[in-house]
Amino acid sequence: MSVSSLALAQTLLNGALLGCLFGSIALGLSVKWGHLGVADFFHLSLTLLGAYLTYSLVTEQLWDPLLTLLVTVPVFFVVGVAVQWLFLVLRAEPFTTLLITFALFIVTESVASMVWSPDLLNLRPRLSDGFTTSLRFPEPLPQLAVQPVDLLALVCAVLMVGVSAWALRRTRAGRAVQAMRQDADIARTLGVRVVPITLAVSGLAASSAAVAGMVVSLRMPLSPTLPLQWIGIVVVATMLGGLGRPLGALVAAVVLMMIQNAWSLWFPPQWAPAVTFGVLFLFLAAQPVRRFVSEATASRRLA
Amino acid sequence: MSLLRCTGVTKRFGGVAALSSVDLAVSEGEIVGLVGPNGSGKTTLLSTIAGSLPVSGGRVEFAGKDLTRTPPHQRAQAGIARTFQVPRPLGSFTVAENVATASMFGRHRTGRVEAIDRAHEVLEEVGLAAHAGAQVGALTLHERKFLEIARAIALDPQLILLDEVLGGLNPSEVAMGLDLISSLRDRGMAVVYIEHNVRAVSSIADRMYVLNQGRNLADGTPTDVLDDARVVEAYLGGPVDA
C-alpha cells in the first residue's frame, strides 16, 4: 500500500502533537517515580478527574476552559500533598505505594462512573470555533493542518516540561530534589529538608495532572476508562525517557506516538500498542549491554 | 562548657540494646577519638548525635541546645556534620556538585554560584581540586573518603563526626588524612573520630572514649586510655604479657 508523503507528514505531525499530551501526563509520573520512588498510577486518575472537572465547570458554570485551571491546579496540589503525606505517615515502601495508587486508580474509575456516568462525554461541541477550527500551515506546506487544541497541548507540554527541567537543574530546590532522590539519608545530613520537598514535589506533579486533564477534556471524549487507554504509552514513555527526567519523558512520548501513528498507515492499528511495548522491550534488553560498556569504560579510566 | 554533651544515651533495636546510657562530652576545637571493638556501638552513637537514628533514651545537647528530638537536617544546619564508614557520594553529581550541595543547604545556606566557589576552595584544601569536574564513579577509595571529609567541611560545621574515614587506606594516605583532620582542629572545629586504627587516632586525639558492648568503658588522654587494663582486655581478651 503506498502512502503519500503528505499523508505521512500529517500522520507524524498528529502523532507528535498527541505525544505532547501524553508527555504532559508522563511528566508527573516521571517526577514522582524518579524522585520520590512512587510509581503513581493515581496520577493517571488525577488527569481523568482534571478532565471531568474541566468538563463540569465549562458545561455547568460556563467557565472558559483555561480559567478552570485557577481552581483545579491548587486543588490538585493539595490532593498531591495529601497523598504523599499519607505515604509518609504510613512509612510506605515503594511496593506499598504502588498497591495504594493502583487501588486509587481502580476506585477513581468507579467514582467517575457514578458521578459523571459511564457514557462518553464530549466537550468539543460546546467549544468556540477558536478551539475546534483546524489551522492550516503557512507556505510551503499549506496542505498540513493542526487543531488549536493540539497546539495548546504543545504549549502546555513545553511550558511544564521546560519549567520542570529548568527547576531541577538550575534551582536550589531542584538540587535538593536530586540529592534526595539519590540518597535521602545523605541529603538530610547535608541539611536538605526532605519532608517538605517531598510534599511539594508530589503537589506539583498532581497540579500538572490538572493541566493535562484540561487539555484531555478539550481533545477527546471522556469516559471513566480513558486512563486504561493511556497507561501503556505513559508508562513506557516515562521509563524510556529516564525516570525523573521530564524532557526525556516528553521526547519519548512524542517519538512513540509518531511511530504508532506511522505504523497505523501500513499495518492494522490494533497492533500499534505492541510497537510501544516492543520498543520498551528492546530498550530494557539493551540495558545490560549499556551497563557493561559503561562499567568497562570506567574501569579503563581508573586503570 | 562542652560543645557536645551526650548524657545517658540509649539506643535499642527491639530487645537489643546497642547503646546503654552512654555519656560523651566534646569541647570546641578538640579531637575526641572514639574507639572500641566491633559491635561496641561507635557508629550507632555517631548516628544518634547526627540524628540519623532517634535515641531510645538520654539527651543530646549541642551548643547549649537540646537536640535530642531534632531531625538530622536541622542538626546539619545547627553545625553538626558527619561522614560515613562506606563513602556515600551522590552518584549523579560531579565531585564539586557533591560538595556544593553541602554548602548550599548547610549552616550558611549559600546560593548556587557561591556554593560552587566554596566547593572548589574546599576541594583545594583536601587535595581533590583536580577532580572537581569528575563524576564520583571515577574516584579511587581514598579520594572518595576525602570527598566525604570535603562534604562535611563544606557544611561549615562546628562539629565533625568522622566514621572510620581512613579505613582501608595505605600508610601515606592515612598520614595525609591525619594531617587533614588535625587541620580541622586548628580551624576551631571539634572532631569526634571513630577509627579501628588505634595508633592513628591516638596520635592526633586530645582525648579518647572507649566503648564496649554499648557502654562507656574508659575515657581520658590517649596514653591513659591505652594503658587502661580494661581497654586492653576488651580489645585483646586479656592482659598482654611483655
Contacts of A179 in chain B (CB under 8 A): 90, 93, 101, 105
Residue of chain B whose alpha carbon sits nearest to that of A176 = B101
Mutation pick from B74, B86, B90, B140 vs chain A, by most beta carbons of A within 10 Å, is B90
Residue A22 pLDDT class (50, 70, 90 cuts): very high
Single-letter amino acid, residue A45: S
| Interface mutation target, options A88, A186, A190, A192, chain B, most CBs of B under 10 Å | A190
* Strand-pair partners of B62: B4, B65
The boundaries of the domain holding residue A44 are 5-302
Total domains in the fold of chain A: 1
Grid coordinates given for B117 = 566557589
Only one residue has cell 576551631, namely B188
**Could you tell me which chain B residue has the CA closest to the CA of A299?**
B138
Q: Is residue B235 part of a domain?
A: yes
DSSP for B20-34, please give it.
EEEEEEE-TT-EEEE
- Domain span including residue B73: 1-79+158-166+205-242
Q: Which of A185, A50, A12, A38 is nearest to A101 (CA)?
A: A38
Size of chain B in residues? 242
Q: Are B228 and B218 in contact (CB under 8 A)?
A: yes
Number of domains observed in the structure of chain B: 1
Nearest to B106 among A186, A190, A298 (CB): A190
- Band (A19; pLDDT cuts 50, 70, 90): very high
Residue B125 belongs to some domain of the structure: no
Write out the three cell numbers for A193: 529538608
Instruction: Give the domain CATH number at A73.
Output: 1.10.3470
**pLDDT for residue A128 is more than 50:** yes
Q: How many CB pairs under 8 A join A and B?
A: 74
Check pLDDT > 70 for residue A200: yes
pLDDT digits (tens, 9 = 90+) for A30-66: 999 999 999 999 999 999 999 999 999 999 998 999 9
DSSP lists the bridge partners of residue B11 as B19
Query: Hey, is the C-beta of A172 within 8 angstroms of any chain B C-beta?
Result: yes
Is the CB of residue A220 less than 8 Å away from at least one CB of chain B? no
pLDDT exceeds cutoff 80 at A137: no
Lowest-confidence pick of A183-192, A279-288, B41-50: A279-288
User: Do B73 and A301 lie within an 8 Å CB cutoff?
Assistant: no
pLDDT digits (tens, 9 = 90+) for B207-231: 999 999 999 999 999 999 988 888 8
Looking at residue B230, what is its pLDDT?
85
Low-confidence ranges of chain B (pLDDT < 70): 236-242
CATH code of the domain containing B214: 3.40.50.300
Tens of pLDDT, residue by residue over A231-240, are 999 999 999 9
Distance CA A99, CA A96 (A): 5
Assigned domain for B150 exists = no
CB-CB: which of B81, B93, B104 is closest to A172? B104
